[in-house]
Structure 1
Amino acid sequence: MNRSILPVLLALGLATGGCGNGQRKDDAPVVVSAIGGEARAADPSAGPLDPAERVLMGATAQGLVRFDATGQIEPGLAERWIVIDDGRSYIFRLREAYWPDGTPVTAAQVVRVLRRAAAPASRNALAPFLAVIDEIVEMTPTVIEVRLKRPRPDLLKLFAQPELAVFRTGTLDGSGPFLARAMAGGPLLIPARDPQRQDNATPEPEETVRLHGERAALAIARFKAGESDLVLGGTFADWPIVDPAKLAPANVRLDQPNGLFGLAVMLREGFLADPANRAAIAMAIDRAALTREVQPHWAPVETILPGKLDSAALPAQPGWATLPIAARRDAARAQVAAWRRQHPEPLVVRIALPAGPGATLVWAHLAEALVAIGIEPRRVGPGATAELKLIDAVAPYDSGRWFVQTACVACPDTLEALILAGREAPDLAARAQRIAEADAALTGDSSYIPIAQPLRWSLVALRLDGWQRNARAWHPLNHLRNETE
């Protein structure tokens, strides 16, 4: 695969020319490429954000809290907070903050944006996980309270996501940590005025950021030519084009965050109407070979949950987990053969995958697995009708409920009810039990076929000594340099 795409990379100038390996002068603006579409302001309540839009929103519109370089919670608009009433009430005291025109951010404005994001009709990607919020109220001009129907110890991680950043509707501008100035090719980000500092002088060039939203090949070419310092948002789909660029190993960084990478059952018809048949497909996949082909250190998985998290039990194991791959395929082949004796027509399973050479490598292994057990595989695009669809998503917070709900794409009502029971559980102990039950039920039903942890990659210039791997694969632009944190 690498040999087949090398001519493309050579045409882009990746293998020759440029300064090499993204090393730029330390007194220049930090240039960042976010893999995705155009880096533009977008309203999270109008629909899911593109990866480049998430980077811009996270840089220009902080939430009540935000993530630091290690993926831990730090203050954002809220300078401090307390949790009372057995975890059913979060009270945030806002710090002094300003909109780009110099007017102060008020509690009423924060409340209005968060209510809109959490509304049942919101198209915000996190809205399904905010149903626990009962009310968001302004207590004073600098204090707000988030009242919950039930305790949720992981709420702060949701509030730190760019989807819950606080911005002014209409203009989509926020209070920092950067202010955006429109420029050709992508915005220039300038540090916002810090009311806690006496000296708010004009920032040095290296304190500013030029942000580009572009496809992976162009981002790698820019970095290779020494015209950028950072590439963010790389996934498995584009990973195979990194190696032919011949970048210094110190510049190539991998994250393997918690999340889901696997096949969701989209149509429960014909062959896939039977859980045993769905399990046959799960058994046929050689996960270790698949992940090793794409990236040798990519971790394969066989469970929905990555660990116990907030479940009452360890991750549910499928019944075939103890079998070696040869025995798994023998059992799967027998299951398919039994079906085909009753249904002699061609057995075709469509798999929806994204574009990209990494996706083609994954497809090759999935196709080989299905052919080996007597199924004709067919690849389709991510928006096409398919029996199976690849999910590649990083978990926004550390709850088993996110995993079971996200994995359950086209589940029957009985499984949906189990997942809903976790959301509606009256206390944390009951919630943990409901999550464990949903995990076991989804695993037994083979509603989702786990393959691996998500894979994310970045290209990082050595001048960005503040960049750190973390379990969120989220790298804030205000934490790229240690001396400016």
Structure 2
Amino acid sequence: MALASCNQRPDSGPVVASAIGMPPRAADPSRKALDTPARLLMDATAEGLVRFDAAGQIEPGLAERWIVIDDGMSYIFRLRTAQWTDGSPVSADQVVALLRRQLRAGSRNPLAPFLTAVDEIVVMTPQVIEVRLRRPRPDLLKLFAQPELALWRPRSGGAGPLRIVHATASPLLRPAIDPGRADPDDQRRTAPEDEVRLIGERAARAIVRFAAHESDLVSGGTFRDWPLVASAGVAPANVRIDPAAGLFGLAIERRVGFLADAANRAALAGAIDRTALTGAVMAGWEGADRILPDQLDSAAPPAVPGWSLLTPEQRRDALRARVAAAGAPVTLTIALPPGPGATLVYGQVAATLVTAGIAPRRVAADAAADLRLVDLVAPYDSARWYLAQACRPCSTEAATAIEAARDAPTLAERSRLIAAADVALTSDAAFIPLARPLRWSLVALRLRQWQANPRAWHPLNRLRDDTK
């Protein structure tokens, strides 16, 4: 019966995609943070040099091919023949200017701090640009594939692979004409099945729309709204979970009072029952007790906190003893986003604190707080990204090692410094890992190209089968 219910959508007409967030609008990432609908719109209409395919792997974007030379210190990109939305040709000079703007000092682009290895971006010929590095970065392409580095001009728009044909609050997107192909007239004759309508809305509305068979996709789901899926009657075959890699935990933002002592912070981290916390939100959600999910590009396996060797009872006793030794009432504020999943997470953390004699208080996600929930998918596979995100703040030793790893002249030295920073950050108990990020989508069976992947990223031009 469940399979039958998820097959009721006809394999015809435009794909209707709901993304959790605000109605989508194109915006300059150097000036404004992008939510899921805006990122999807940017990725669809303004690709970067490279982009992610359905499996989260690198595929050509504005660059039709590239080479890496000088021991990884230079990336040379050959641009394809392309047009901006207004029909004007894309030039190498324009591409270089746009990339420089995203990486300039003062940019609000969230990827800019992780691209400091870029020394110069220069035009070599009208079709070729070069990105020169100060230090080798084997993960550069994964950063360039992010929607925040899509190439978009305020008046000219982007260069596809889709273009907006109806600029409403829920824009209709259609495949862009490729000037490199010999049949531009044929490209103008598209079928409705080639089109995508993108809707930005609250999770509850998106889930109801999907359950009513009025949409084909819900994208951008997180732990916050997962409990709504279970009550919506969506067929299990339509529910997809990404093996997302990233950080989910509590950053210790105010190191004062009880949290000024690293031993207190470690006791708090150890006392939280991760199995109960993740199970309260979703059965099978994977917990985490360390910052790094794998060794990645570190010279050593992930550092393990000392409390992980204790039994759950010993961990709870340790926190109670630290609170009793504080000699004064302990109150901690916890900043969390709204949503039923966030309420369940708060309930589990608060139960730990209350049992230990700590008074918890929940505050808004953007309010000043002692503990703040961090829920991020990693844009690329470097241990340094995890450590830099977890240092909010951290000890001088850990911060110095993280910065030194960024500036390391060789990959071997970078790996060594990353391992040292991991040990220092774990000893400092600056971050409380809780789980892997939870990312979910609702997917109609007609979207045969959709694939779960560690980036939790699903381009709008990679949903339906190419053969359709």
Please, what TM-score do these two structures have when normalized by structure 2? Answer: 0.96
The answer as to 2:230 corresponding to 1:243 is: yes
In 2: Cα distance, 1:219 partner to 1:370 partner: 35
Q: Which amino acid aligns with 1:478?
A: N
Among 135, 147, 153, which residue is 2:138 paired with? 153
**Secondary structure, counterpart of 2:308 in structure 1:** coil
Greater Cα offset, 466-475 or 192-201: 192-201
Task: State the Cα distance separating 1:187 from its structure 2 match.
Answer: 0.6
In 2: Cα distance, 1:172 partner to 1:289 partner: 51
Native 8 Å contact 2:394 2:428 kept in 1: no
In 2: Cα distance, 1:348 partner to 1:310 partner: 38
Equivalent residue for 2:175? 191
The answer as to 2:272 corresponding to 1:285 is: yes
Native 8 Å contact 2:17 2:199 kept in 1: yes
Among 70, 85, 94, which residue is 2:70 paired with? 85
Greater Cα offset, 389-398 or 173-182: 173-182
In 1: Cα distance, 2:141 partner to 2:287 partner: 29
Task: State the Cα distance separating 1:37 from its structure 2 match.
Answer: 1.0
Structure 1 unaligned blocks of 5 or more: 1-18
Task: State the Cα distance separating 1:483 from its structure 2 match.
Answer: 2.2
Among 346, 353, 362, which residue is 1:379 paired with? 362
Q: Which amino acid aligns with 1:195?
A: P
The answer as to 2:237 corresponding to 1:272 is: no
- 1:409-461: CA deviation from partner (whole Å, max 9, x where unpaired): 12244432211101000100000011111111111101000000000110000
The answer as to 2:465 corresponding to 1:482 is: yes
- 1:54-107: CA deviation from partner (whole Å, max 9, x where unpaired): 111111110100001110000111111111111010000111111122221111
Equivalent residue for 1:203? 190
Task: State the Cα distance separating 1:256 from its structure 2 match.
Answer: 3.0
Task: State the Cα distance separating 1:324 from its structure 2 match.
Answer: 2.1
Task: State the Cα distance separating 1:47 from its structure 2 match.
Answer: 2.6
Greater Cα offset, 61-70 or 318-327: 318-327
In 2: Cα distance, 1:23 partner to 1:213 partner: 24
Native 8 Å contact 1:39 1:186 kept in 2: yes
The answer as to 2:63 corresponding to 1:73 is: no
Equivalent residue for 2:148? 163
- What is the 5 A alignment of 1:438-453? 438-453=421-436
Equivalent residue for 1:111? 96
In 2: Cα distance, 1:192 partner to 1:88 partner: 34
In 2: Cα distance, 1:408 partner to 1:172 partner: 39
Task: State the Cα distance separating 1:484 from its structure 2 match.
Answer: 5.2
Among 390, 394, 411, which residue is 1:411 paired with? 394
In 2: Cα distance, 1:412 partner to 1:201 partner: 59
In 2: Cα distance, 1:148 partner to 1:446 partner: 34
The answer as to 2:338 corresponding to 1:355 is: yes
Among 466, 471, 484, which residue is 2:454 paired with? 471
In 1: Cα distance, 2:156 partner to 2:108 partner: 16
Equivalent residue for 1:138? 123
Native 8 Å contact 1:22 1:227 kept in 2: no
The answer as to 2:410 corresponding to 1:423 is: no
Native 8 Å contact 2:120 2:133 kept in 1: yes
Native 8 Å contact 1:120 1:131 kept in 2: no
**Secondary structure, counterpart of 1:46 in structure 2:** coil
Task: State the Cα distance separating 1:183 from its structure 2 match.
Answer: 4.1
Equivalent residue for 1:300? 287
Native 8 Å contact 2:86 2:157 kept in 1: no
Task: State the Cα distance separating 1:465 from its structure 2 match.
Answer: 0.8
Greater Cα offset, 234-243 or 404-413: 404-413
Task: State the Cα distance separating 1:280 from its structure 2 match.
Answer: 1.3
Q: Which amino acid aligns with 1:218?
A: R
Equivalent residue for 1:456? 439
- 1:300-339: CA deviation from partner (whole Å, max 9, x where unpaired): 0111111000000100000011222112111221122112
Native 8 Å contact 1:23 1:461 kept in 2: no
RMSD: 1.4
The answer as to 2:42 corresponding to 1:62 is: no
**Secondary structure, counterpart of 1:245 in structure 2:** coil
Task: State the Cα distance separating 1:248 from its structure 2 match.
Answer: 0.6
In 2: Cα distance, 1:22 partner to 1:323 partner: 49
Count of residue correspondences = 462
Task: State the Cα distance separating 1:196 from its structure 2 match.
Answer: 4.1
**Secondary structure, counterpart of 1:211 in structure 2:** strand
Q: Which amino acid aligns with 1:313?
A: A
Task: State the Cα distance separating 1:185 from its structure 2 match.
Answer: 3.6
Q: Which amino acid aligns with 2:356?
A: I
In 2: Cα distance, 1:270 partner to 1:181 partner: 57
Native 8 Å contact 1:22 1:225 kept in 2: no
- 1:131-183: CA deviation from partner (whole Å, max 9, x where unpaired): 11000000001000000000000000000000000111x23611001001344
Greater Cα offset, 181-190 or 428-437: 181-190
In 2: Cα distance, 1:229 partner to 1:249 partner: 15
In 1: Cα distance, 2:74 partner to 2:383 partner: 22
